[in-house]
Amino acid sequence: MDFRQVFVSPTRSFWAFALYFIHMQYLEGLNDAQKEAVLSTDGPISVLAGAGSGKTRVLTTRIYHLIRQGIPPERILAVTFTNKAAREMRERLAVQLSGGTLPLVVTFHGLGRELLQRYGSRIGVPRYFSVYDRDDSERAIKEALKALDVDPKEVPPRAILSRISKEKGEGHSKEWFRERHGRDGFRARITAEVWDKYDATLTREKALDFDDLISLPVRLLAEHDDIRALAEELFSHVHVDEYQDTNALQGRLANMLAKRHGNLFVVGDIDQTIYTWRGATIENLLAFDTTYPGAKTIILAHNYRSTKTIVDAANQIIEKNKNRKEKVAVTDNDDGEPIRFYVADTAESEARWIARQARSEMVKGTEAENIAVLYRTNFQSRALEEAFLSEGIPYRLLGTRFLDRKEIKDVLAWVRLALEPTREVDRMRAVQAPPRGIGKVTLGKLAAGNRDALKPGERTKVEAFEALVASLNEELKVVLPSVFVRSVIEKSGLADALSKGSDEDKERLENVKELATLASRYDGLPGEEGVAAFLADTALAGDQDELDRKPEKKGVTLMTVHAAKGLEFDTVFVTGLEQGLFPHEGMGEEQDRDQEEERRLFYVAVTRARKRLNLTMARVRRIYGTDYAAEPSAFLYDIDEGLISPVAGEYDDERVIHI
């Protein structure tokens, strides 16, 4: 607006100014860099956003600004990495837009699912496909190994799945892998053969895995010009959050969708790249300027989250990395408390100290939900759980997902089977939930097409089961997803079986009822479509989604550093800071690169803290039954001594250990 016009007509100018003020009020409170990111609406833009720099607000405000500028919401796409992040962004936009049409805000896997549901039939993808979660995939890999007479204990299914996932993420097919690596050795040859059988299982079960939800849309767009043209035209503005975590195919998919209009807005932080082990490539963000010549780069360096002491420590940690773009965080927050460093004699005494310090924080007024204990590897949680139980301090362990519980998987198997009655894996589970007297022998006869070989008693049970599945298949077409899930729980016999069991079984019944509540989110979609969306999203749910549910109990959160990405707490304990544990050893051939990723992981851990940061280690730690003498993590020496306050030990004869 040209403010010289204010003096043309007093009445007119007053209303013009008022409207302008109202129009731009959503920019209030943003710093200059944030405003630049919001108001830069055209062309390729990369935003380097440090920890606690308000990137989510920038993303949502920019989308809101685009809509205020006349861009239809349905032409705007925002892609995140977790359902939790997508949900938070949608909720913020819903408030800003006052109930108006929302843009599409999805995870990468959710985006892939949308594209495949619209156009996947062109490459043979069934309309209502199921999605294998990691447990499903590992089970299928295990069965493939057994079929090849390979002991899964000798060749871990998880390792095979990880290799297949990595290759898919880089855009490689099983044919390419067999040609390139099939003769590299036993493990590579087995991987190629297992991949064949795994794909056959997915096809038979009308299922896709996580990686298929990215690789197949890319293939679809690459092979079909007309579909690619439609997809390119769908969105005029494409946004990608956590761009540093994208793999090669995810980066390619984003580039494909943004190609026609050229409006690709990516937000990321190279210093928080901690997922290269599962295929993320730091090069997508590092090379953004090369991929898009003339791209604008905006740096969000202001940290609104943490105290100055924590921010300074984080800067000192990450500046040691070479493979990054220069970015120094600043803050206007107070210095806050010094970082406390505690050295315990053992992992057990380390855990007890943490538990007692957590209780002390709670006594002082910090809510348990604002306290987190972070560790590098899952085995460290055992001593921590024992300590919290012993001290009577409530806690919740992030990692045992609601959706991974047996009773929940039982219901989901029934729902998938009702949607597609030919799925053998779900049939095998459903007949045992609850047991119906239909064993593996009977199911084997059916799978082999030997129905005539069934004994009369077997036939009666099978026909009753199939009739129930058929009736559920018809029911799901006409009722709401939440109503259907409740019907499955009742008609399958699960509700009756659990209600007559132990107190633990009754708790399980409450869990499956909660699943129906979850399904109610999809009641706005018709019949099969709603059920299919519900199943897909449950398969794609991540660990952090557990924190987004109403917790069964309140308590201090125990989790790995990887799981803590994107979260923040008033008080944080970073444990096990011992050389070999954190940084973790045995990371592969690229030791320099791995060391940098470990340092980035430590940086992420430190920057989860808003007010108080505690660093701990044990002199002796038992790993796999053997006691190991520990040395302080090399990362501790990256922090200026003036920022750290060593703590006298409760179990160490009051010895104070200085780094």
Active site positions, annotated:
55-56, 241-242, 272, 608
Query: What 8-state DSSP symbol labels residue 82?
Result: S
Token readout for 536 is 């897909």
CA distance 207 to 101: 32
Nearest to 472 by CA among 460, 457, 485, 459: 485
- HSE, CB side, 13 Å, CA atoms: give it for residue 291: 22
CA distance 282 to 261: 25
Are 416 and 528 in contact by the 8 Å Cβ rule? The answer is no
Are 659 and 641 in contact by the 8 Å Cβ rule? The answer is yes
Give SS3 for 551. coil
Can you give 584-635 as a three-state secondary structure string?
A: ECCCCCCHHHHHHHHHHHHHHHHCCEEEEEEEEEEEEEEECCEEEECCECHH
Distance set, CA 406 to CA 135, 251, 304, 423, 511 (Å)? 12, 36, 41, 19, 10
Q: End-to-end alpha-carbon separation of the chain, Å?
A: 58
CA distance 142 to 156: 8
CA 113-119-123 angle, to 5 degrees, is 95
Are 602 and 368 in contact by the 8 Å Cβ rule? The answer is no
